[in-house]
A = this chain, B = another copy of it.
Amino acid sequence: MLYFRNDYSQGACQEVLNALVETNLIPTAGYGTDQFCAAAAETIRDLCEAPSAQIHFLVGGTQVNKTAIGAFLRPYEAVIAASTGHICVHETGAIEHNGHKILALPSPDGKLQPEQIRAAAEAHCDEHMVLPRLVYVSNTTEVGTVYSLAELTALSDCCRELGLLLYCDGARLGSAMTVEGADTTFADYARLCDAFTIGGTKNGLLFGEALVLTNPALFPHFRHAMKQQGAVLAKGRLLGVQFDAVLRDGLYLQLARHANAMAAKLRRGLLDLGYQMAVGSPSNQLFPLLTPAQETRLQQDCAYEVQSRDDRGVCVRFVTSWATTEEEVDGLLTMMKEVRA
């Protein structure tokens, strides 16, 4: 069985595992107040060229989105997001559970446009409606597309003009920063966003998302919000150790670059075989269209997710990761050739 279901099917990359084993018996203070977290935070501030940024380490993606957005907003404030946004559907209403409405705007390519944001902000004009206050984007998006620096800058300008916070969910930030033609850096996110995450779970860590807060208005008492949400890990050191291992020497982007390279090879192969893509994605998620019969044959030997079924066919999702090998890609292409036959 080949695994292209997601980029969190396996444990951690060897360097991360080594770091955990090596530091295992060193006693530290709990809750992330240890030297490993301090070092990882310092590394992130350096990478972000943001010496006064607050860095927090949380365990998972839904947790960090829920905790951050919940801490940033007043009860009647709302989030603007693309309808494909992870918080819109696949977090079981976590944002709403914290009390906040999400204004989900249509987006065929998973991205938000400044004009959409402006229109939504203007439409919510009095106290009978929620008050839009935060714009949520993901990079890469949930459909694998990538915001360019120009696009992010336009969003940031729009948000600042309208008094909205810009939050970027970077669960797959490494992939976004290393696709062909990528032009964003950690420092860009720090400069353009009020807060963003550097995803570890999907890029070689056992788990972990680093949250970077650059807007000082968001700093006070954020640790209170984390603890209240059950988002402070007792052995918080585990997060510091892992992030430091991948960020200190550039491994983070290297792992992501590998995942993208494996996806690129797979993409070329699929297009050569004549498959069409439901949405054009340059990153480590691919969305080829199969016929129902093809999909039935494929599922015998490959693990993946079905994204949608409609008139165009069955849209499946293949995800590559830091752990995907060339052999696995070749194996999948062989399989896809047979399926198509």
A-to-B contact residues, CB < 8 Å: 3, 5-6, 8-12, 17, 20-21, 23-31, 59-67, 70-71, 74-76, 78, 89-94, 96-102, 127-131, 201-202, 206-207, 221, 223-235, 237-238, 303, 323
Task: Report the minimum CB–CB distance from A83 to chain B (whole Å).
Answer: 11
- Decide: A29 near B5, CB < 8 A? Known: A76-B221, A76-B225, A90-B128: yes
A129 in contact with B5 (CB, 8 Å): no
28 contacts between A and B (CB under 8 A): A3-B27, A5-B27, A5-B29, A9-B29, A9-B30, A10-B28, A11-B24, A12-B24, A27-B303, A59-B233, A60-B233, A60-B234, A66-B229, A76-B97, A76-B227, A78-B93, A91-B230, A96-B130, A101-B102, A127-B221, A127-B227, A202-B234, A206-B238, A207-B234, A207-B235, A207-B238, A229-B230, A230-B231
- Closest chain B residue to A6, Cβ basis: B30
A92 in contact with B62 (CB, 8 Å): no
Q: Which residues from chain B contact A91 at a C-beta distance below 8 Å?
A: 128, 227-228, 230
B27 in contact with A228 (CB, 8 Å): no
C-alpha gap A228/B30 in the complex (Å): 26
